[in-house]
């Protein structure tokens, strides 16, 4: 996920030389646990780990888009009365919809799983219930991934805007529209 390759399952261990004994133990466990990573993923990873200006520029623009999009979604949810930590990186939010608990109870929704299922059925908006992340079943938390947009198109458009300027709402609604429409649907559904 570090280099925009979500879903490409590749992990690495980094150990200081002084912890060679734990590195060796982890290598034994890993060799019996994980299957091999496909060649295209390995080649892409080698290129990404080499770094360079092209990779750094890509990461800078990707982070810029996700930072601006995450902050807009955070603000929208916060303005709607949802409890949500301010994003500090990545492309997930973990909001708590408990301020809407009474409304949800009136709809017969009593768990985060029911919340996610009804939201999907009623609006087509998908999120993962907090219970999938170890949160109590009756807590109305969820994980939202805000990456349902054409990343290549958004990156190309971001290139035309100087780094010194923020990517405003107009940009985000144009290039990240599906994500923002989903958030707007979620908020409208909560407020029904």
Give residues with Cβ within 8 angstroms of 174, minimum separation 6.
157
Q: Summarize the chain as % helix, strand, coil (round to 5).
A: 60, 5, 35
Helix, strand or coil, per DSSP, at residue 143:
strand
Q: Which domains does the chain have, with CATH numbers?
A: 17-50 (no CATH), 53-191 (3.90.1150.10)
The total number of residues written for the chain in this structure: 192
Burial of 6-40, coded b for 16+ CB within 10 Å and e otherwise, reads eebebeeeeeeeeeeeeeeeeeeeeeeeeeeeeee
pLDDT of residue 47: 87
Nearest CA to 114 among 184, 187, 122?
122
Given a cut of 80, whether residue 3 has pLDDT beyond it is: no
State pLDDT tens for residues 155-177: 999 999 999 998 999 999 999 99
- Residue 59: other Cβ atoms inside 10 A: 15
pLDDT of residue 90: 87
Nearest CA to 62 among 90, 35, 42?
90
Over residues 118-139, the mean pLDDT reads: 97
State pLDDT tens for residues 46-97: 888 888 999 999 999 999 999 999 999 999 999 999 999 999 988 999 999 9
Average pLDDT of the residues of the chain: 93
Higher pLDDT, 155 or 3: 155
């Amino acid at each position: 996920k570090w280099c925009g390759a979500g879903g490409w399952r590749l992990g690495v261990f980094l150990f200081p030389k002084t912890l060679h004994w734990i590195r060796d133990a982890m290598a034994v466990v890993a060799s019996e646990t994980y299957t091999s990573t496909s060649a295209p993923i390995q080649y892409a990873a080698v290129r990404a780990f080499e770094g360079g200006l092209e990779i750094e520029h890509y990461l800078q623009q990707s982070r810029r888009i996700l930072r601006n999009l995450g902050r807009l979604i955070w603000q929208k949810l916060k303005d709607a009365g949802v409890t949500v930590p301010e994003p500090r990186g990545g492309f997930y939010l973990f909001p708590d919809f408990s301020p809407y608990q009474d409304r949800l109870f009136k709809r017969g929704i009593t768990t985060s799983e029911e919340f996610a299922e009804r939201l999907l059925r009623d609006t087509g908006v998908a999120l993962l219930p907090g219970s999938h992340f170890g949160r109590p079943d009756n807590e109305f938390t969820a994980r939202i991934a805000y990456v349902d947009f054409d990343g290549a198109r958004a990156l190309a458009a971001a290139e035309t805007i100087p780094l010194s300027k923020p990517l405003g709402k107009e940009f985000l609604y144009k290039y990240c529209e599906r994500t923002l429409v989903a958030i707007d649907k979620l908020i409208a559904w909560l407020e029904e």
